A and B are shown apart, each in its own frame.
Chain A
Amino acid sequence: EVQLVESGGGLVQPGGSLRLSCAASGFTFNNYAMSWVRQAPGKGLEWVSAISVSGGTTYYADSVKGRFTISRDKSKNTLYLQMNRLRAEDTAVYYCAKDVSAIDGIFDAFDMWGQGTMVTVSS
């Protein structure tokens, strides 16, 4: 079955850290760009970060730049999001998404999404 499964969410205090994982199966993970997208309670979708097919190119939303790091482990078919210096406004459901693009450095639509993992930043 083709799927993306996120994990690693939970409750963390402001200023704390958390690492999200996204396990991919049913497709050749190494061949596609990937992204993280979040949705805060009562708000719309917000793109967070993207990583190219090779992992050599990464992009971040201004709201997380310098605090979050996206990475991928091709041997484990897993996407990660390391989140540091967390703030209350980072509270959201975090989705990982598979890009249509199989060309390194090119980003396109998200044709597969996980079910999401909830991150709550609160004291």
Chain B
Amino acid sequence: QSVLTQPPSASGTPGQRVTISCSGSTSNIGRNFVYWYQHLPGTAPKLLIYRNNQRPSGVPDRFSGSKSGTSASLAISGLRSEDEADFYCATWDDSLSGYVFGTGTKVTVL
């Protein structure tokens, strides 16, 4: 049972904006950086956002992250068919002394 809660699914048509939420607590999101990963089953996960809102080089600016209190969100603007994947938030949890991943959100492009 993950300590970070995400909606199980999200969807949109090409070009639309999709937002994924990630709810945590004071021991994790409230105190630490949030990361976002994109994962296609059978492949290596990919880092999309680090330190709440920073994009690694090569990640399109269509992806953006934000954090407020004990929650975070990932926004995908200009949705494209290749964005179909599972998305996970993650952070360090001070109480557990370890990383925690969110429950994951499957994004579907209609």
Contact = CB atoms under 8 A, between A and B. Distances in A.
A14 interface: no
Contact of A95 (B44, B56, B99): B44
Contact of A111 (B50, B86, B88, B102): B50
Interface of B: 2, 33, 35, 37, 39, 43-47, 50-51, 56, 86, 88, 90, 92, 96-104
A113 B47 CA distance: 9
Given A107-B92, A107-B99, A44 B2 contact: yes
Interface stretch (A15-23, A55-63, A77-85): A55-63
Contact of B104 (A45, A60, A110, A115): A45
Closest 3 CB pairs of A and B: A109-B50, A47-B99, A113-B44
A46 to B, nearest CB: 6
Interface residues of A, number: 23
Contacts of A12: none
Contact of A109 (B2, B51, B86, B101): B51
A60 B97 CA distance: 8
Nearest to B104: A44
B33 A47 contact: no
Contacts of B92: 107
A35 interface: yes
6 contacts: A47-B101, A59-B97, A95-B44, A100-B50, A113-B45, A115-B44
